[in-house]
Amino acid sequence: MVNRTLIRGLDKNIEDVVLEEDLLAYYGADAEISLNQLIDGTVVRIEKEFVIVDVGYKSEGAIPVSEWEEDEEAPKPGDKVKVLVEELEDTMTGEDVSARGMIVLSKRKAAKIEAWNEMMQRVKEGDVVDGKVTKKIKGGLLVDIGVNVFLPASQVDVRRPSDISEFIDQTIKCVVLKIDETRRNIVVSRRALIEQERAEKKTSLLNELEVGQIREGTVKNIAEFGAFIDLGGIDGLLHITDMSWGRITDPKELVKIDQKIEVMVLQIDYEKEKISLGLKQKTPSPWEHVEEKYPIGAKVKGVVVNVMSYGAFVKLEEGVEGLVHISEMSWTKRINHPNEILSQGQEIDVVILGINKEKQEISLGVKQTTSNPWETVDQKYPVGMRVKGVVRNLTNYGAFIEIEEGIDGLLHVSDMSWVRKITHPNEVVKKNDEIECVVTSVDKKNRRIALGLKQLSEDPWVNRIPEKYKPNQIVAGKVTKITNFGVFVSLEDDLEGLLHISELANHKVENPEDVVKVGEEIEVMVLRVDADERKIGLSRKRAEWTDEEAEAAAEEEAPVVSSTPTVKPENLKGGMGGDAGPLFKLPGQE
């Protein structure tokens, strides 16, 4: 029914404002048209912007020409058309003033309503429908199944695609999830349909699968630890360790998303519905005949694939790697880290040292590719040979001298001087000093070479010192060190004698520092020179005696040596008297 409203300017022959009942009386009371009504009409004429349609009403209706699609046949008078009544009071504007006073109609909306009504006759929730994806909208996709329906992004696939727009213009199958007739809205799901189909296939596939089978699958997802393969209803895990017999750091090195591959079924857990797959198992293991291909002692080529702090892994062939331990890299060179001599990707020669087929481990050596210089070191450096080297390191007991790269000799403190007491090697040599030494011994088994510095010159204790220093001789010296048992006195460079505390003074001395000071020059008497023990015994008190005191002392000491017919001072073990005390010992003569 026409609402009771004021209608303006419907005809020039009536007043500008009339009541509804007056209008009906003017046009006829038998015509009833309501808003949103679907009615049939006939095209009367075509104007510039509108198509004029007769719907059996006292006034004609107007439809915008734009409602006819480009691919549709253009309207012409006499065409039948289904329309929707949108407005009973004209609200249209345009250059064609003849359109004024007409009701507003829509062909496009009428078509959509008809399509919806038809769809409601044949589709219900749970039905599977086919449709073409037309566009991407906020939150998902529009799918044309006869009417536009909404496919949420979360329902596009089992795993949400990175870009759902790739489905545009594709024809897909979906299941109807929800129909809202009031809002004329339908929500569909492609994912639910896929999951339903996969569930049906999974049960069937689990009954077919057997360990050892080769199956074709599609890579669906890739993780750090491996790839998930769709076998056609159920996913299996292809672990990274089962992809190749060789070394792989990333599964993407071998597979990519949506790739078709053949895999072997390794394990099936029917309860948890988990399947383990393998790719490398399709080919024989390279370790099957490894002992025949790589016998112990064989020299082969390989490529360094990884360098660790303890060694380097070397690939002999695809799937077969061995370890060169840091201790097997050089016969002589001191290696702190393998990267000092090896780098990733480097091709090297190695020698097979050992094979553990069960654990798939091979021990390799690099130094074994060259001769061991220690095997001939005694021939190259015989005892007595003079050699030059560089001081590489100092310890408390000596200095290590590098006589060639990787071969060191030990210069012990006891072999640094014939006469001087050396407490630390830095008193004689410094690090990086170049020095000359004499080879004193060679131990091939333990890889040791002993060197001597003092052996470069003649031993002064053989002739020179015993001839120069005689018992009872008065000599000058300088105090170099004071201990609780006596004083060391330097007689010449690198030669010291011991002045025992009992020989410091005629009176009893409790503390030697009460009598002498370091650096003080004093006169002493030589009591004894022992070339074998390399000792010189001294006395300060005897050097200050008068002839009478010396004679008196000799008489007192006479009973001590009375059993000897002839007594000479140099034959007395304690020097000039029994209380002379211990004498100085050089290093190595303890």
DSSP string, 27-90: H-TT----TT-EEEEEEEEE-SSEEEEE-SSSS-EEEEGGGS-TTSPPP-TT-EEEEEEEESS-
Nearest residue to 304 via CA among 242, 247, 252: 247
**Which letter does DSSP use for residue 199 in this model?**
H
- Is 409 a member of any domain? yes
| d(C-alpha 589, C-alpha 488), whole Å | 17
Q: Residue 84 pairs with which residues in a beta bridge? A: 38, 106
> Based on the domain organization, do 396 and 477 belong to the same domain?
no
Residue 159 and residue 140 in contact, taking contact as beta carbons nearer than 8 Å: no
pLDDT value of position 580: 39
| d(C-alpha 306, C-alpha 342), whole Å | 10
- Reading phi first (left if > 0) and then psi (alpha if -120 to 50, else beta), residue 116 is in alpha
> Based on the domain organization, do 384 and 350 belong to the same domain?
no
pLDDT value of position 99: 43
3-state secondary structure 290-349: HHHHCCCCCEEEEEEEEECCCEEEEEEECCEEEEEEHHHCCCCCCCCCHHHCCCCCCEEE
Cβ within 8 Å of residue 33, ≥6 positions away: 2, 39, 55, 57, 85, 88, 103
- Is 385 a member of any domain? yes
**Pairing relationship of beta strands 61-64 and 50-54 according to DSSP bridges:** antiparallel
- Is 199 a member of any domain? no
pLDDT value of position 557: 62
> Based on the domain organization, do 99 and 37 belong to the same domain?
yes
- Is 590 a member of any domain? no
pLDDT value of position 89: 61
Cβ within 8 Å of residue 24, ≥6 positions away: 2
Instruction: Report in angstroms the alpha-carbon separations of 485 from 458, 481, 498, 505.
Output: 32, 11, 10, 14
- Is 258 a member of any domain? yes
> 535: how many CB neighbours lie within 10 A of its CB?
19
Here the CATH number for the domain that contains residue 186 is 2.40.50.140
> Could you list the mean pLDDT of each consecutive 10-residue stretch along the chain, which spans 590 residues?
34 38 41 72 85 81 82 82 75 47 80 78 84 90 86 87 88 88 84 84 82 90 92 88 86 90 91 89 88 92 94 92 93 87 94 92 92 85 92 93 88 87 88 93 90 86 84 90 90 85 88 89 90 87 79 63 39 38 40
- Reading phi first (left if > 0) and then psi (alpha if -120 to 50, else beta), residue 562 is in alpha
| d(C-alpha 226, C-alpha 253), whole Å | 11
pLDDT value of position 267: 92
Of the three residues 316, 338, 369, the one that is the final residue of a domain is 369
pLDDT value of position 100: 58
> Based on the domain organization, do 81 and 14 belong to the same domain?
yes
* Residue 367 φ then ψ, to 5°: -65, -25
**Cα dihedral 259, 262, 265, 268 sign:** positive
> 515: how many CB neighbours lie within 10 A of its CB?
20
> Based on the domain organization, do 315 and 344 belong to the same domain?
yes
At 9, list the tokens: 């300017």
Residue type present at position 524: V
Nearest residue to 461 via CA among 590, 569, 589: 589
Residue 207 and residue 234 in contact, taking contact as beta carbons nearer than 8 Å: no
This model's pTM is above 0.95: no
> Based on the domain organization, do 362 and 325 belong to the same domain?
yes
Helix (H) / strand (E) containing 194? helix 190-208
Cβ within 8 Å of residue 45, ≥6 positions away: 52, 77
- Is 276 a member of any domain? yes
| d(C-alpha 462, C-alpha 44), whole Å | 146
Nearest residue to 82 via CA among 109, 102, 56: 109
> Based on the domain organization, do 277 and 295 belong to the same domain?
no
At 88, list the tokens: 């009973």
Residue type present at position 238: L
Placement of tokens 């360098």 in the chain = 307
- Is 58 a member of any domain? yes
| d(C-alpha 224, C-alpha 251), whole Å | 7
> Based on the domain organization, do 539 and 515 belong to the same domain?
yes
At 192, list the tokens: 């639910």
| d(C-alpha 189, C-alpha 143), whole Å | 11
Range of the domain at 527: 465-571
- Is 204 a member of any domain? no
Residues in the chain: 590
pLDDT value of position 556: 67
Helix (H) / strand (E) containing 203? helix 190-208
At 455, list the tokens: 């052996």
Of the three residues 68, 87, 114, the one that is the final residue of a domain is 114
Of the three residues 369, 384, 416, the one that is the final residue of a domain is 369
> Based on the domain organization, do 472 and 516 belong to the same domain?
yes
pLDDT value of position 351: 95
Query: How many folded domains does the chain comprise?
Result: 6
3-state secondary structure 494-542: CEEEEEEHHHCCCCCCCCHHHCCCCCCEEEEEEEEEECCCCEEEEECCH
